[in-house]
Amino acid sequence: MLPYNTLAEAEVALGRPLTCLESLWIGYSADKSDYFLFCHNILFLFLIFTVVPLPYILIDVLGLKGFDKYKIQPGVRLSARQILSCYKDVMKMFFLVVVPLQLVSYPTFKMIGFRTGLPLPSIWEILSQLLVCFLIEDYSNYWLHRWLHQGWGYEKIHRVHHEFTAPVAFAAPYAHWAEVLILGIPTFLGPAIVPGHMITLWLWVALRQIEALDTHKGYELPWSLTRLIPFYGGAEHHDYHHFVGGKSQSNFASVFTYCDFLYGTDKGYRYHKKLLSKMKENAQRVTQKKQD
Ligand SMILES: [Zn+2]
Ligand SMILES: [Zn+2]
């Protein structure tokens, strides 16, 4: 709940006129509790899990031929029934684990010092905090994910996420309940280290999940803007991790590629890519010869 109820009160408190965005924020949040604002994450996550994967799911289900050349594992195509079953399992996990976790984790977020009032964070504050969150998430997720590939962790927990050897976007949050809790730690660490405004937290929770859906979508699209992000792993990088499956000792990082490079866990992937490009070259040479 904000300490002022009207725009005039807020302007007096800040000692300056409000910006357009600040007026909108006051108009929306003034009569809402901080807990209610925090719980917006539940709605955002539900919409992201449901809506963001839809374009890729439709491409898969409708079998749009124009996208075949961008499919990372063209030999594998899940049926509409399998995809729907994946979504149902994800929703079950969402309502049984993610929602209760969000509801009870508010005191922890309150303790680390999130603010909901004015002034709103600048774009640079938001971007720098998001960058820190992504770097911390990527590094800590890398090691926890590696640990989940050890015998017990894999057999009892992580095996569920690897049921999809050729992932689809809905499969990003498809995991054992314990994995949802364990890999929730890296998502929480960033905001704990650089706490900011509630809007930054909303953005972080949303972008982290959109990024996870992006890496599981099963397509490497040449026009994807994420290709402009330095060291971004993307769908091809994580798809290889699923392709190799349980024995995978490759491509553990969730966002960037540098951890796998630094710790030597991308050797198999780099060899695989080299092999694929050689096969492509040979196929092109054969086609060229036939045409000559
Ligand atoms: Zn894995
Ligand atoms: Zn995955």
Residues β-bridged to residue 256: 232
CA 5 to ligand 2 center in whole angstroms:
45
CA 127 to ligand 1 center in whole angstroms:
29
CA 242 to ligand 2 center in whole angstroms:
6
Sign of CA dihedral 246, 279, 258, 127: negative
Cβ atoms 34, 1 nearer than 8 A: yes
- Report pTM: 0.90
CA 12 to ligand 2 center in whole angstroms:
50
Averaged over 45-51, what is the pLDDT?
97
Cβ atoms 226, 161 nearer than 8 A: no
Asked if residue 119 has a cis previous peptide bond (ω within 30° of 0), the answer is: yes
Q: What is the pLDDT of residues 110-150, one digit of tens each?
A: 898 889 988 899 999 999 999 999 999 999 999 999 999 98
Cβ atoms 27, 18 nearer than 8 A: no
pLDDT of residue 58: 92
Please report how many Cα atoms fall inside a 13 Å half-sphere around the Cα of residue 94, on the Cβ side.
22
pLDDT of residue 9: 80
CA 242 to ligand 1 center in whole angstroms:
7
pLDDT of residue 56: 92
CA 248 to ligand 1 center in whole angstroms:
7
Q: What is the pLDDT of residues 159-200, one digit of tens each?
A: 999 999 999 999 999 999 999 999 999 999 999 999 999 999
pLDDT of residue 262: 96
Q: Tokens 């969402």 identify what position?
A: 94
Q: Check whether 158 has a pLDDT greater than 70.
A: yes
CA 151 to ligand 2 center in whole angstroms:
18
The residues spanned by each domain of the chain are 1-32, 39-291
pLDDT of residue 193: 93
In this prediction, residue 95 has a pLDDT band, given cuts at 50, 70 and 90, of very high
